[in-house]
């Protein structure tokens, strides 16, 4: 998943030995992150200047004895977040690194899965950064850029698709129920609450960086958080008789979440 929207947070790897950094570069690119590899201090400064928000993965071994001064200098960049990698487990070094401006301090060896999860968490906390989701209605998948691909049930998928029609508008319970069950009055009043509860638990377990994107308005219905923007690739998304679910089975929706 790449290039769903502008404002994507850049991940910068700084390693003077390009060969050693290549495996990490490939793993992060494959996970969907936009990655640049800096092999010199000059490259690094240019990449930081060229990006609004960026996450720097800094192996302290590349900074030599001046690693503390390097961190202090890099921390002056307001929109830069620093993930430091080190082979040392020294508690004093960790304390000094955090005081100097490191956001996350990891002791090597670090698994790619752990690193990817940490990057996603940092991205989710960046002010103004875009967290991009895609809802594949045909395959019933919710995909997080640089993160998880979540398999949805049919009702979970159509619930999100229903809310997608207007990011800032509430969908009433009656509207959602009609869309999901086609006015089948034989079902209980709690059916929709069960769908929403299970969907929230699934998102919390599989993509905690999203937070709670679904807002419940007591006695009125549901909406997505105001910061969540949704559009359909290729055209407007509408509900009702004008466009039935079977006509949308191959659709993909893009959800732009500004955190």
Q: Please list the residues that pair with 85 across neighbouring strands.
A: 59, 106
pLDDT digits 0-9 by tens, 112-121? 888 888 887 7
pLDDT digits 0-9 by tens, 35-89? 888 888 888 888 988 877 789 998 888 777 788 888 898 888 888 899 998 887 7
What pLDDT, on a 0 to 100 scale, did the predictor assign at position 232?
Answer: 42
Q: What is the mean pLDDT of the chain?
A: 75
CA dihedral 144, 150, 212, 190 (to 10 degrees): 150
H-type alpha helices, the chain:
18-30, 41-50, 67-74, 91-100, 112-125, 154-163, 173-181, 191-206
Domains of the chain in sequence order: 10-125 (3.40.50.2300), 130-258 (1.10.10.10)
pLDDT digits 0-9 by tens, 80-139? 899 998 887 778 888 888 888 888 888 888 888 888 888 877 876 666 555 566 778 888
Mean pLDDT, range 14-40, rounded to an integer: 82
Pair 134, 143: CB distance under 8 Å: yes
Residues 6 or more apart in contact with residue 84 via CB below 8 angstroms: 58, 59, 60, 71, 97, 102, 104, 105, 106
What pLDDT, on a 0 to 100 scale, did the predictor assign at position 234?
Answer: 37
- How far is 124 from 135, CA to CA, in rounded Å? 18
């Amino acid at each position: 998943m790449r290039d769903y929207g502008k404002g994507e947070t850049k991940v910068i790897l700084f390693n003077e030995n390009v060969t050693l950094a290549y495996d990490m570069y490939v793993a992060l690119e494959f996970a969907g992150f936009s990655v640049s590899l800096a092999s010199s201090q000059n490259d690094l400064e240019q990449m930081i200047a060229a990006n609004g928000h960026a996450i720097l993965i800094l192996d302290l071994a590349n900074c030599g004895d001046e690693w503390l001064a390097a961190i202090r200098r890099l921390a002056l960049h307001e929109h830069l977040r620093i993930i430091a990698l080190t082979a040392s487990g020294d508690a004093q070094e960790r304390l000094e690194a955090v005081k100097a401006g490191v956001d996350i301090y990891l002791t090597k060896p670090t698994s790619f899965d752990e690193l990817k999860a940490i990057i996603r968490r940092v991205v989710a906390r960046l002010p103004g950064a875009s967290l991009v989701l895609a809802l594949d209605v045909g395959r019933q998948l919710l995909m997080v850029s640089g993160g998880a691909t979540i398999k949805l049930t049919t009702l979970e998928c159509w619930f999100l698709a229903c809310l997608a029609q207007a990011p800032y508008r509430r969908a009433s319970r009656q509207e959602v129920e009609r869309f999901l069950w086609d006015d089948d009055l034989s079902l209980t009043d709690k059916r929709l609450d069960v769908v929403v509860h299970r969907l929230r638990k699934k998102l919390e377990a599989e993509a905690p960086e999203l937070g709670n994107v679904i807002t419940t308005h007591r006695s009125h219905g549901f909406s997505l958080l105001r910061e969540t923007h949704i559009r359909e690739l290729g055209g407007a998304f509408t509900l009702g008789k004008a466009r039935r679910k079977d006509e949308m089975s191959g659709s993909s929706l893009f959800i732009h979440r500004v955190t």
